[in-house]
Amino acid sequence: MAVVSTKVASSLKLTVQTGIDAKGKDKFATKTMGNIKVDALDADIFAIGKAISDIKTFPLSGIERQDQYSLVTQ
């Protein structure tokens, strides 16, 4: 029995450094944006994340793509 995966959703997650806590460690915040086209190229998603971070106040720490798949048997 073979299992087939189908990408059903994608999202963009940006992590920014928001400051330093009382112990001197970096503080981070994340923002996740859904409704990304499942067939969007990684380079395009990265470019969008970078462009969004350029207009934000806090420095960018990371860009992630999160994909969700549906698994079915054949």
CA distances from 65 to 2, 24, 58 (A): 27, 29, 20
Residue 32: pLDDT band by 50, 70, 90 thresholds? Answer: very high
Mean pLDDT of 10-31: 96
pLDDT of residue 68: 97
37-47 pLDDT tens trace: 999 999 999 99
What are 12's strand-pairing partners?
33, 65
- Is 34's pLDDT higher than 90? yes
Asked whether the beta carbons of 34 and 45 are under 8 A apart, the reply is no
Q: Which amino acid is at 36?
A: I
Q: Which runs of consecutive H residues, i.e. helices, occur in the chain?
A: 42-54
